Structure 1
Amino acid sequence: MTTTRFAPSPTGFIHIGNLRTALMNFLIARKAGGEFILRIDDTDPERSKEEYVDGIKQDLEWLGLHWNRVERQSERLDQYAAAADKLRDIGRFYEAFETPTELDLKRKKQLNMSKPPVYDRAALALSEAEREAMRAERGNGVWRFKLDHERIEWNDGILGDISIDAASVSDPVLIRGDGQVLYTIASVVDDTEMGVTNVVRGSDHVTNTATQIQIMKALGATPPAFAHHSLLTGPQGEALSKRLGTLALRDLREQGIQPMALLSMMARLGSSDPIELRMEMAELIDGFELSHFGAAPTKFDVADVFPMTGHYLQALPLAKVADQITALGVPDDLAEAFWTVTRDNITTLKDLDGWWTLFRDGAEPDIDDEDKEFVAQAMALLPEGPLDTTTWKSWTGAVKDATGRKGRGLFMPLRKALTGQSHGPDMSGVMPLLQVIKAR
């Protein structure tokens, strides 16, 4: 069975970069009829917070990315300890005691000698007595996985054939001196024991994937199929990392972005498939092809999501937005007309409030000096009685006969006088909604 996972750290809220990873893994699982696991990477007790766990779940639920089960790494520490013991037993795990300053000096020296800045494995030469002396002096050391210096190869689902020389990579630290288990080994153990078959993540994890493949094989496991999507940039190709804080999903939700608009974009962005609005998740699932994505950095402009949100809303029937319209105070007998008139003139549902305020309270008239006499004459001709969808045509016809004006010179001043705007919905639909004029 196809099994994928999304493994966020609860140290902050999900942003647009995280969404790309979550969505791809979700679509792969759903297209294959498999499982999608939400795995909370909470092995760092100081930085992990329950409010972020709750926030992650809320964001995924808002998007419709429903998981089959939740796993928490903080509840699996015994499994990680068992894996560490196995690595020690087979001679692939060793303790190292260098301070960050010492490691930095080593890297600089290697770079000055035009050598790759990798850990020199000095700790392997320590005797047991020397290790005990180092522990007494510095406390417990970090635990590093001893890489086999050979080429690590796999066929990446997006990048194609990958080959990395393990000798060019430092032996990864899997457990810190304070005992905290790091992501690299926790993920290996989880992916193996949870039966994860496919892993999609950012291209900044390629080297990490290489080391994890070796760790998995050392533990006697078969690595899943890996794929690494391109990283997002800003619209001008600039690094997006500095802006991710402003691209949190909860912020986009607050701005009125609709989930299917965002998902429609993110499910195709960076692929050879055109970005097209989809109204249902099933359409995204059926059309998703991981192999269509490329390796080049992918430009993302949040401004592009707003027009898609507008198009999505325009296609919705009243029933889908009835609660929001009722909350504005729109009478039930006007709800259908209100939605019909406004939906082509909004970008998000937040825009509805402005339209109802205009219809309910009236607008500040926008009348040019040269039109004041004309507007006054026209308003005197506005018929009494209930306004309906025929009122605009009959009224402007009467004004035309009385004043001789026609075309833009007739319609624009009247629109601006009634709505305060030069553009907007068809006035035939607007007239029955103008509560102030109806109450004359």
Structure 2
Amino acid sequence: MAEIVRFAPSPTGNIHIGNARTALINWLTAVKSGGQFILRFDDTDQERSRQEYADGIAADLDWLGIKPNRVEKQSARMATYDEVAEKLKAMGRLYPCYETADELDRKRKRQRARGLPPVYDRAALELTEEQKAGFEAEGRRPHWRFLLDHKTVAWQDGVRGEQSIECDSVSDPVLIREDGTYLYTLPSVIDDIDMGVTMVIRGDDHVTNTAVQIQLFELLSGKAPGFAHHNLLTSATGEGLSKRLGSLSIRTMKDEGYEPLSVAIFAVLIGTSEPVQPLADMQALADLFALDKVSRNASKFDMADLGHLNARILHEKSYAQVSDRLAALGVAGGEEFWLAVRGNIERLPDAKGWWDIVDKGLPEDAVARSEDDSDFYAKALELLPNEPWDGTTWKAWTNAVKSETGRKGKGLFMPLRVALTGRSHGPELAAFLPILGYQKTSDRLS
């Protein structure tokens, strides 16, 4: 079945990897089924929503490879929400409540003290017109609750299997605030109906909302879409993700030079039965992913693990695939340089560090040479072959140095690496030496 899915972020900040996971799972489901992906901005909060955040979210999704079939804004649909709200009021399913936040809090505390669940008691349904007018005269404005049917709501969840909620254990949800603005629930349901959404895929922190929404779907359209609730990601320390964790924002990962495919693969496959592994492209990820592979348990997102995957993907990239980005970084070494260093970088900007070692000299934090190696360096310089150099030069040179000095293994190679690169590890010097060239090599040995 071709699924119509949606991702509905609030444009109140940059999206993090947990948000991206939801977007990716929805998009991959649409791609795999030949369906549609809707990007729908939940921007009904006019005070906190910003166009720059909406633009940033769209750009982040595009960077990840997500291409929406359509883009919608809830702020453009307020008249539709008002119309449906009036319909629900006329049906008696949306009713006004005048309790203040403090009064509701005291009610809940009394219920808990009596060992009762803190479920709204529907006292507002007993108000007379005179009592309502009295509250209005005091300056109170009502919030509006949806009158639930006290029944069992069950659904087959695409990730969690058979689920059910007893609606008499749930408070009638507030759909409209005192100031007349809408909470998430009603606009979301109306939009899903009008836009033909067939599957709602989201984090499992929304499971408890599902029964309410199914009742609204059935009341307004006669049927509900499918639901699938995926597990959540936490930080490496187990902390829940939020927009304040800027280090896990998609924008930060982009700026720090991670590959979009690496981020997408890691965000999707972590917490599934599939191992996190390099893949050729997003289509390969779509072919591999399935909702029934998703675990029910939260998974930790560790940047170190993302780095390992990113490195594995970079190590397979050809020069043609990265040449423009290397040029933008100021790396002018060409294909020979890329093939020499790609096996020793985790993120593409790391290549700039190695190019600077070639082009500008040893780094400021270079590993210090041992004074005991002075005679060794002098002999190595004496035996340095003339150019032209190629991939065989390193072996010929080090064999000659070994024969003259008696050094071998680490005692032979490590001092040369330190002298030429300022690092104790890095690219294979057989490939690096011709890039460095005779003059720079002899200068660094001197």
1:273 matched to 2:277? The reply is no
Contact 2:151 2:166 in 1 (8 A): yes
Contact 1:328 1:356 in 2 (8 A): no
5+ residue gaps, structure 1, are none
**Alpha-carbon deviation of 1:402?**
2.3
1:338 matched to 2:337? The reply is yes
1:395 matched to 2:397? The reply is yes
Give secondary structure in 2 for the equivalent of 1:227: strand
1:215 matched to 2:224? The reply is no
Give secondary structure in 2 for the equivalent of 1:152: strand
**Alpha-carbon deviation of 1:405?**
2.4
Change (3 A) 1:167 1:184: same
* Counterpart for residue 96 of structure 2: 95
Contact 2:16 2:250 in 1 (8 A): yes
Give secondary structure in 1 for the equivalent of 2:269: coil
1:349 matched to 2:351? The reply is no
5+ residue gaps, structure 2, are none
* Counterpart for residue 412 of structure 1: 414
Contact 2:381 2:442 in 1 (8 A): no
**Alpha-carbon deviation of 1:236?**
4.7
Alpha-carbon distance between aligned partners in 2 of 1:220 and 1:400, rounded to the nearest angstrom: 83
**Alpha-carbon deviation of 1:330?**
4.2
RMSD of aligned residue pairs (Cα, Å): 1.8
1:158 matched to 2:159? The reply is yes
* Counterpart for residue 437 of structure 1: 440
Alpha-carbon distance between aligned partners in 2 of 1:101 and 1:361, rounded to the nearest angstrom: 67
Alpha-carbon distance between aligned partners in 2 of 1:327 and 1:32, rounded to the nearest angstrom: 38
Alpha-carbon distance between aligned partners in 2 of 1:206 and 1:245, rounded to the nearest angstrom: 27
Contact 1:261 1:305 in 2 (8 A): yes
1:172-216 Cα distance to aligned partner (Å, 9 max, x none) = 111111111221000010011100000111111112111011111
Q: Which moved more, 1:343-352 or 1:229-238?
A: 229-238
**Alpha-carbon deviation of 1:329?**
4.2
The letter for the 2-side match of 1:423 is H
Q: Which moved more, 1:65-74 or 1:127-136?
A: 127-136
Contact 2:15 2:243 in 1 (8 A): no
Alpha-carbon distance between aligned partners in 2 of 1:254 and 1:329, rounded to the nearest angstrom: 16
Give secondary structure in 2 for the equivalent of 1:133: helix
Contact 1:330 1:356 in 2 (8 A): yes
Alpha-carbon distance between aligned partners in 1 of 2:22 and 2:330, rounded to the nearest angstrom: 40
**Alpha-carbon deviation of 1:377?**
1.7
1:22-49 Cα distance to aligned partner (Å, 9 max, x none) = 1111111111101000000000100100
* Counterpart for residue 50 of structure 1: 51
Contact 1:93 1:146 in 2 (8 A): yes
* Counterpart for residue 74 of structure 1: 75
Alpha-carbon distance between aligned partners in 1 of 2:55 and 2:243, rounded to the nearest angstrom: 24
Change (3 A) 1:410 1:245: closer
* Counterpart for residue 361 of structure 2: 362
Alpha-carbon distance between aligned partners in 2 of 1:149 and 1:209, rounded to the nearest angstrom: 14
The size of the alignment, in residue pairs, is: 438
The letter for the 2-side match of 1:347 is E
**Alpha-carbon deviation of 1:409?**
2.1
Percent identical among aligned pairs is 50
Alpha-carbon distance between aligned partners in 2 of 1:418 and 1:181, rounded to the nearest angstrom: 65
Normalising by structure 2, we get a TM-score of 0.94
1:65-109 Cα distance to aligned partner (Å, 9 max, x none) = 110010100001111111111211211110111110001000101
The letter for the 2-side match of 1:44 is D
